[in-house]
Amino acid sequence: MKKLIIKCLFIITLTFPAVLEMYAQAIGIQMGSMRKMMPEGMPAVIAKLKELGITEIEGGGGRSMDRAAFRKLVEDNGLKIIATGGGSFENLQNKDSIQKIISNAKALGAQYVICYWIPHDGDNFTYANMQKAVEVFNSAGKTLKENGLSFCYHPHGYEFREYAEGKGTLFEYMMDKTNPEYVNFQMDVFWIKNPGQDPVALLKKYPTRWKMLHLKDRRIGTPNNPNGRQDVETNVVLGTGDVGIAEVVKTAKQLGIKHYFIEDESSRALEQVPQHVAFLKSLDK
Protein backbone atom coordinates (compact mmCIF):
# COMPACT_ATOMS: atom_id res chain seq x y z
CA MET A 1 0.00 0.00 0.00
CA LYS A 2 2.79 2.42 0.91
CA LYS A 3 4.54 1.74 -2.41
CA LEU A 4 1.25 2.31 -4.26
CA ILE A 5 0.69 5.67 -2.52
CA ILE A 6 4.24 6.79 -3.34
CA LYS A 7 3.75 5.76 -6.96
CA CYS A 8 0.49 7.71 -7.19
CA LEU A 9 2.10 10.80 -5.66
CA PHE A 10 4.95 10.51 -8.15
CA ILE A 11 2.52 10.40 -11.09
CA ILE A 12 0.58 13.39 -9.74
CA THR A 13 3.82 15.34 -9.31
CA LEU A 14 4.77 14.65 -12.92
CA THR A 15 1.38 15.51 -14.40
CA PHE A 16 0.38 18.51 -12.22
CA PRO A 17 2.45 21.08 -14.19
CA ALA A 18 0.87 19.83 -17.42
CA VAL A 19 -2.60 20.17 -15.90
CA LEU A 20 -1.82 23.70 -14.78
CA GLU A 21 -0.58 24.58 -18.26
CA MET A 22 -3.73 23.09 -19.81
CA TYR A 23 -6.01 25.33 -17.76
CA ALA A 24 -3.83 28.43 -17.46
CA GLN A 25 -5.09 31.44 -19.38
CA ALA A 26 -2.44 32.64 -21.79
CA ILE A 27 -2.90 36.37 -22.31
CA GLY A 28 -1.94 37.82 -25.66
CA ILE A 29 -1.92 41.27 -27.20
CA GLN A 30 -2.36 42.75 -30.66
CA MET A 31 0.77 44.87 -30.92
CA GLY A 32 -1.06 47.92 -32.23
CA SER A 33 -2.36 48.38 -28.69
CA MET A 34 1.18 49.38 -27.67
CA ARG A 35 1.65 51.93 -30.48
CA LYS A 36 2.11 54.91 -28.10
CA MET A 37 5.05 53.17 -26.44
CA MET A 38 6.79 52.30 -29.72
CA PRO A 39 8.98 55.46 -29.74
CA GLU A 40 10.72 54.06 -26.63
CA GLY A 41 11.96 51.14 -28.72
CA MET A 42 10.86 47.56 -29.12
CA PRO A 43 13.02 46.18 -26.26
CA ALA A 44 11.15 48.50 -23.83
CA VAL A 45 7.79 47.45 -25.26
CA ILE A 46 8.54 43.73 -24.95
CA ALA A 47 9.91 44.23 -21.43
CA LYS A 48 6.64 45.95 -20.48
CA LEU A 49 4.57 43.09 -21.91
CA LYS A 50 6.65 40.60 -19.95
CA GLU A 51 6.17 42.64 -16.78
CA LEU A 52 2.39 42.57 -17.33
CA GLY A 53 2.37 38.79 -17.73
CA ILE A 54 1.51 38.79 -21.43
CA THR A 55 2.89 35.72 -23.18
CA GLU A 56 1.51 35.81 -26.74
CA ILE A 57 1.71 38.37 -29.55
CA GLU A 58 -0.15 39.10 -32.74
CA GLY A 59 1.85 41.40 -34.95
CA GLY A 60 3.88 41.82 -38.10
CA GLY A 61 7.36 42.57 -36.87
CA GLY A 62 9.64 44.78 -34.85
CA ARG A 63 9.44 48.02 -36.82
CA SER A 64 13.11 48.97 -37.30
CA MET A 65 14.29 45.51 -36.17
CA ASP A 66 14.67 42.73 -38.71
CA ARG A 67 12.39 39.74 -38.21
CA ALA A 68 15.06 37.43 -36.82
CA ALA A 69 16.14 39.97 -34.20
CA PHE A 70 12.54 40.73 -33.26
CA ARG A 71 11.69 37.06 -32.87
CA LYS A 72 14.78 36.53 -30.71
CA LEU A 73 13.88 39.52 -28.52
CA VAL A 74 10.36 38.19 -28.06
CA GLU A 75 11.43 34.62 -27.30
CA ASP A 76 14.25 35.70 -24.99
CA ASN A 77 11.57 37.41 -22.89
CA GLY A 78 9.40 34.31 -22.73
CA LEU A 79 6.81 35.46 -25.29
CA LYS A 80 5.74 33.88 -28.55
CA ILE A 81 4.44 35.31 -31.83
CA ILE A 82 1.25 33.37 -32.57
CA ALA A 83 -0.24 35.28 -35.50
CA THR A 84 0.68 37.87 -38.07
CA GLY A 85 -1.24 39.86 -40.65
CA GLY A 86 -1.17 38.76 -44.27
CA GLY A 87 -1.06 42.26 -45.63
CA SER A 88 -3.84 43.29 -47.99
CA PHE A 89 -6.57 41.07 -49.43
CA GLU A 90 -4.89 41.55 -52.80
CA ASN A 91 -1.69 39.96 -51.46
CA LEU A 92 -3.57 36.72 -50.93
CA GLN A 93 -4.40 36.53 -54.64
CA ASN A 94 -0.87 36.83 -55.99
CA LYS A 95 1.54 33.85 -55.99
CA ASP A 96 4.62 36.00 -55.41
CA SER A 97 3.09 38.03 -52.59
CA ILE A 98 1.65 34.97 -50.87
CA GLN A 99 5.15 33.48 -50.82
CA LYS A 100 6.30 36.66 -49.06
CA ILE A 101 3.48 36.21 -46.53
CA ILE A 102 4.64 32.63 -45.92
CA SER A 103 8.28 33.66 -45.53
CA ASN A 104 7.36 36.47 -43.14
CA ALA A 105 5.19 34.22 -40.95
CA LYS A 106 7.85 31.53 -40.78
CA ALA A 107 10.60 34.03 -39.97
CA LEU A 108 8.49 35.26 -37.04
CA GLY A 109 7.62 31.74 -35.90
CA ALA A 110 3.91 32.51 -36.30
CA GLN A 111 1.35 29.74 -36.72
CA TYR A 112 -1.53 31.85 -38.10
CA VAL A 113 -1.88 34.34 -40.95
CA ILE A 114 -4.79 36.77 -40.57
CA CYS A 115 -6.75 38.74 -43.18
CA TYR A 116 -8.56 41.70 -41.61
CA TRP A 117 -10.63 43.19 -44.44
CA ILE A 118 -12.50 42.32 -47.63
CA PRO A 119 -12.36 45.26 -50.08
CA HIS A 120 -15.69 46.82 -51.04
CA ASP A 121 -17.13 50.11 -52.21
CA GLY A 122 -17.89 52.35 -49.24
CA ASP A 123 -20.65 50.76 -47.19
CA ASN A 124 -21.88 48.69 -50.13
CA PHE A 125 -20.65 45.20 -49.23
CA THR A 126 -22.24 42.85 -51.76
CA TYR A 127 -22.85 39.19 -52.53
CA ALA A 128 -20.24 39.48 -55.30
CA ASN A 129 -17.69 40.80 -52.77
CA MET A 130 -18.31 37.79 -50.57
CA GLN A 131 -18.20 35.32 -53.46
CA LYS A 132 -14.78 36.69 -54.39
CA ALA A 133 -13.60 36.50 -50.78
CA VAL A 134 -14.66 32.86 -50.46
CA GLU A 135 -12.73 32.00 -53.63
CA VAL A 136 -9.61 33.86 -52.50
CA PHE A 137 -9.71 32.53 -48.94
CA ASN A 138 -10.12 28.89 -49.98
CA SER A 139 -7.23 29.15 -52.44
CA ALA A 140 -4.88 31.11 -50.15
CA GLY A 141 -5.78 28.95 -47.15
CA LYS A 142 -4.88 25.82 -49.11
CA THR A 143 -1.50 27.26 -50.09
CA LEU A 144 -0.80 28.34 -46.51
CA LYS A 145 -1.73 24.92 -45.14
CA GLU A 146 0.58 23.24 -47.65
CA ASN A 147 3.32 25.41 -46.17
CA GLY A 148 2.57 24.53 -42.55
CA LEU A 149 0.51 27.62 -41.69
CA SER A 150 -3.13 28.28 -40.82
CA PHE A 151 -5.33 31.01 -42.31
CA CYS A 152 -7.99 33.00 -40.43
CA TYR A 153 -10.32 35.79 -41.48
CA HIS A 154 -11.25 38.55 -39.01
CA PRO A 155 -14.84 39.78 -39.59
CA HIS A 156 -15.65 43.44 -38.99
CA GLY A 157 -19.44 43.36 -39.02
CA TYR A 158 -20.41 44.29 -42.57
CA GLU A 159 -20.61 40.55 -43.32
CA PHE A 160 -23.86 40.20 -41.33
CA ARG A 161 -26.20 41.85 -43.85
CA GLU A 162 -28.65 39.62 -45.73
CA TYR A 163 -27.60 38.63 -49.24
CA ALA A 164 -30.98 37.37 -50.46
CA GLU A 165 -34.37 37.37 -48.78
CA GLY A 166 -34.79 34.26 -46.69
CA LYS A 167 -31.34 32.88 -47.53
CA GLY A 168 -29.48 34.26 -44.52
CA THR A 169 -26.53 36.58 -44.12
CA LEU A 170 -23.34 36.92 -46.10
CA PHE A 171 -21.53 35.73 -42.97
CA GLU A 172 -23.51 32.49 -43.02
CA TYR A 173 -22.77 32.11 -46.71
CA MET A 174 -19.04 32.52 -45.97
CA MET A 175 -19.18 29.93 -43.21
CA ASP A 176 -20.96 27.47 -45.50
CA LYS A 177 -18.73 28.00 -48.54
CA THR A 178 -15.25 28.17 -47.00
CA ASN A 179 -13.43 24.91 -46.44
CA PRO A 180 -12.63 24.46 -42.72
CA GLU A 181 -9.47 22.61 -43.69
CA TYR A 182 -8.14 25.84 -45.16
CA VAL A 183 -10.17 28.72 -43.70
CA ASN A 184 -11.07 29.52 -40.12
CA PHE A 185 -11.78 32.67 -38.15
CA GLN A 186 -10.58 35.16 -35.57
CA MET A 187 -13.46 36.67 -33.61
CA ASP A 188 -13.05 40.30 -32.61
CA VAL A 189 -15.84 40.39 -30.05
CA PHE A 190 -16.27 44.18 -30.42
CA TRP A 191 -16.84 43.88 -34.17
CA ILE A 192 -19.30 41.04 -33.65
CA LYS A 193 -21.25 43.08 -31.08
CA ASN A 194 -21.14 46.26 -33.19
CA PRO A 195 -23.61 45.11 -35.89
CA GLY A 196 -25.90 43.73 -33.17
CA GLN A 197 -24.70 40.12 -33.10
CA ASP A 198 -24.14 37.97 -30.00
CA PRO A 199 -20.50 36.79 -29.66
CA VAL A 200 -21.41 33.92 -27.31
CA ALA A 201 -24.15 32.65 -29.62
CA LEU A 202 -21.80 32.69 -32.62
CA LEU A 203 -19.07 30.90 -30.69
CA LYS A 204 -21.57 28.16 -29.90
CA LYS A 205 -23.02 28.04 -33.42
CA TYR A 206 -19.60 27.55 -35.03
CA PRO A 207 -17.59 25.92 -32.23
CA THR A 208 -14.77 24.56 -34.40
CA ARG A 209 -14.26 27.55 -36.71
CA TRP A 210 -13.08 30.18 -34.20
CA LYS A 211 -9.37 29.71 -33.51
CA MET A 212 -8.65 32.88 -31.54
CA LEU A 213 -10.27 36.03 -30.14
CA HIS A 214 -9.60 39.74 -30.11
CA LEU A 215 -10.80 40.96 -26.73
CA LYS A 216 -12.12 44.50 -26.90
CA ASP A 217 -15.04 45.98 -24.96
CA ARG A 218 -17.52 48.63 -26.12
CA ARG A 219 -18.80 51.60 -24.16
CA ILE A 220 -22.35 51.06 -22.88
CA GLY A 221 -24.85 53.02 -24.97
CA THR A 222 -22.84 52.90 -28.20
CA PRO A 223 -25.22 52.56 -31.17
CA ASN A 224 -24.85 49.52 -33.42
CA ASN A 225 -24.00 49.84 -37.09
CA PRO A 226 -23.48 47.25 -39.87
CA ASN A 227 -20.62 48.98 -41.67
CA GLY A 228 -17.48 47.89 -39.82
CA ARG A 229 -16.91 51.33 -38.33
CA GLN A 230 -17.06 52.81 -34.85
CA ASP A 231 -15.46 55.64 -32.90
CA VAL A 232 -12.24 54.22 -31.46
CA GLU A 233 -12.91 56.06 -28.20
CA THR A 234 -15.73 53.58 -27.52
CA ASN A 235 -13.01 51.02 -26.69
CA VAL A 236 -13.24 50.75 -22.88
CA VAL A 237 -11.58 48.63 -20.19
CA LEU A 238 -12.48 44.97 -20.50
CA GLY A 239 -15.42 44.09 -18.29
CA THR A 240 -16.84 47.63 -18.17
CA GLY A 241 -18.64 47.66 -21.54
CA ASP A 242 -21.59 45.96 -23.20
CA VAL A 243 -19.85 43.03 -24.94
CA GLY A 244 -20.06 40.64 -21.97
CA ILE A 245 -16.36 39.73 -21.97
CA ALA A 246 -16.51 37.39 -18.96
CA GLU A 247 -19.16 35.17 -20.57
CA VAL A 248 -17.35 35.29 -23.92
CA VAL A 249 -14.09 34.11 -22.36
CA LYS A 250 -15.88 31.43 -20.33
CA THR A 251 -17.57 30.06 -23.44
CA ALA A 252 -14.39 30.24 -25.51
CA LYS A 253 -12.47 28.29 -22.89
CA GLN A 254 -15.18 25.63 -22.81
CA LEU A 255 -14.82 25.29 -26.58
CA GLY A 256 -11.06 24.87 -26.30
CA ILE A 257 -10.03 28.18 -27.89
CA LYS A 258 -6.43 28.82 -26.86
CA HIS A 259 -5.47 32.31 -28.04
CA TYR A 260 -6.86 35.61 -26.69
CA PHE A 261 -5.41 38.93 -27.85
CA ILE A 262 -6.17 42.21 -26.12
CA GLU A 263 -6.77 44.94 -28.68
CA ASP A 264 -7.36 48.57 -27.77
CA GLU A 265 -7.66 51.18 -30.52
CA SER A 266 -8.52 54.11 -28.25
CA SER A 267 -6.26 57.04 -27.40
CA ARG A 268 -6.13 55.58 -23.86
CA ALA A 269 -4.79 52.20 -24.96
CA LEU A 270 -1.47 52.37 -23.15
CA GLU A 271 -3.15 53.33 -19.87
CA GLN A 272 -5.90 50.74 -20.30
CA VAL A 273 -3.76 47.72 -21.21
CA PRO A 274 -2.73 46.97 -17.58
CA GLN A 275 -6.42 47.18 -16.59
CA HIS A 276 -7.37 44.79 -19.40
CA VAL A 277 -4.74 42.35 -18.17
CA ALA A 278 -5.91 42.65 -14.55
CA PHE A 279 -9.50 41.90 -15.60
CA LEU A 280 -8.50 38.80 -17.55
CA LYS A 281 -6.38 37.54 -14.67
CA SER A 282 -9.37 38.04 -12.32
CA LEU A 283 -11.40 35.59 -14.44
CA ASP A 284 -9.02 32.78 -13.48
CA LYS A 285 -9.54 33.29 -9.71
Write out pLDDT tens, residues 200-222: 999 999 999 999 999 999 999 99
pLDDT of residue 69: 94
Half-sphere exposure in the Cβ direction for 110 (13 Å, CA): 28
Contacts of 147 (CB under 8 A, 6+ apart): 102, 106
Write out pLDDT tens, residues 25-47: 699 999 999 999 999 999 999 99
pLDDT of residue 24: 55
DSSP string, the chain: -HHHHHHHHHHHHHHHHHHHHHHS---EEEGGGGGGGGGG-HHHHHHHHHHHT--EEE-S-BTTB-HHHHHHHHHHTT-EEEEEE---GGGGG-HHHHHHHHHHHHHHT-SEEEE-----BTTB--HHHHHHHHHHHHHHHHHHHHTT-EEEE---SGGGSEEETTTEEHHHHHHHHS-TTT-EEEEEHHHHHTTT--HHHHHHHSTTTEEEEEE-EE-TTPPP-SSS---GGGEE-TTSSSS-HHHHHHHHHHTT--EEEE---STTHHHHHHHHHHHHHHTT-
Cβ distance 190 to 248 under 8 Å? no
Structural domains of the chain, with CATH: 25-282 (3.20.20.150)
| Cα–Cα dist 162/160, whole Å | 7
* Residues with pLDDT less than 70, the chain: 1-25
Q: Residue 234 corresponds to which amino acid? A: T
Cβ distance 187 to 203 under 8 Å? yes
pLDDT of residue 165: 73
The model carries a pTM of 0.90
Cβ distance 200 to 248 under 8 Å? yes
